[in-house]
Amino acid sequence: MSSSDSVATLAQALVNARSAVVLTGAGISVPSGIPDFRTPETGMWANVDPMEVAHIDTFTYDPERFWSFYGERFASLGDKRPNGAHEVLVELEKRGLIDAVITQNIDRLHHMAGTHDLVEVHGSIETSRCLACGAEYELEWVRDQAAEHGVPRCIACETKPALKPDVVLFGEMLPDEVIQRAFELAAGADLLIAIGSSLVVHPVAGLPTITLKSGGEVALVTNGPTPFDDDAFVKLGGDVEEELTALLAAVDGLG
From 53-57, 224-228, 247-251, the region with the lowest mean pLDDT: 53-57
- Give the chain's domain count: 2
111 carries an active-site annotation: no
User: Is there a single domain that holds both residue 91 and residue 155?
Assistant: no
Residues 251 and 11: beta-carbon distance below 8 Å = yes
CATH number of the structural domain spanning residue 103: 3.40.50.1220
User: Is there a single domain that holds both residue 139 and residue 253?
Assistant: no
> What is the tens place of the pLDDT at every residue in 22-33?
999 999 999 999
Query: Could you give the CA distance from residue 235 to residue 252 in angstroms, rounded to a whole number?
Result: 20
> What is the tens place of the pLDDT at every residue in 8-51?
999 999 999 999 999 999 999 999 998 765 444 444 444 556 65
User: Is there a single domain that holds both residue 70 and residue 86?
Assistant: no
Strand duo 164-167 + 123-129: pairing: antiparallel
Residue that terminates a domain, selected from 112, 142, 167: 167
Domain housing 246: 1-34+82-122+173-255
Q: Is residue 5 packed enough to be buried (19+ CB in 10 Å), middle (13-18) or exposed (0-12)?
A: exposed
User: Is there a single domain that holds both residue 199 and residue 248?
Assistant: yes
User: Is there a single domain that holds both residue 134 and residue 244?
Assistant: no
Report the pLDDT value the prediction gives residue 49, as an integer from 0 to 100: 64
User: Is there a single domain that holds both residue 236 and residue 178?
Assistant: yes
User: Is there a single domain that holds both residue 18 and residue 89?
Assistant: yes
Residue that terminates a domain, selected from 167, 195, 228: 167
CATH number of the structural domain spanning residue 140: 3.30.1600.10
**Mean pLDDT of the chain, nearest integer:** 90
User: Is there a single domain that holds both residue 201 and residue 255?
Assistant: yes
Residues 219 and 192: beta-carbon distance below 8 Å = yes
Among 123, 34, 88, 40, CA closest to 221: 88
User: Is there a single domain that holds both residue 21 and residue 45?
Assistant: no
User: Is there a single domain that holds both residue 200 and residue 236?
Assistant: yes
pLDDT cut 90: percent of the chain above it: 78
> What is the tens place of the pLDDT at every residue in 176-201?
999 999 999 999 999 999 999 999 98
User: Is there a single domain that holds both residue 133 and residue 225?
Assistant: no
Of the pLDDT bands very low, low, confident and very high (cuts 50, 70, 90), residue 121 is: very high
Q: Is 230 helix (H, G, I), strand (E, B) or coil?
A: coil
User: Is there a single domain that holds both residue 181 and residue 153?
Assistant: no
Residue that terminates a domain, selected from 167, 182, 201: 167
Query: Could you give the CA distance from residue 221 to residue 197 in angstroms, rounded to a whole number?
Result: 8
Per annotation, catalytic residue among 116, 122, 149, 202: 122
Residue range 209-222: average pLDDT?
97
Q: Which residues, 6+ apart, have CB-to-CB distance to 197 below 8 Å? A: 23, 24, 25, 26, 27, 104, 204, 205, 222, 226
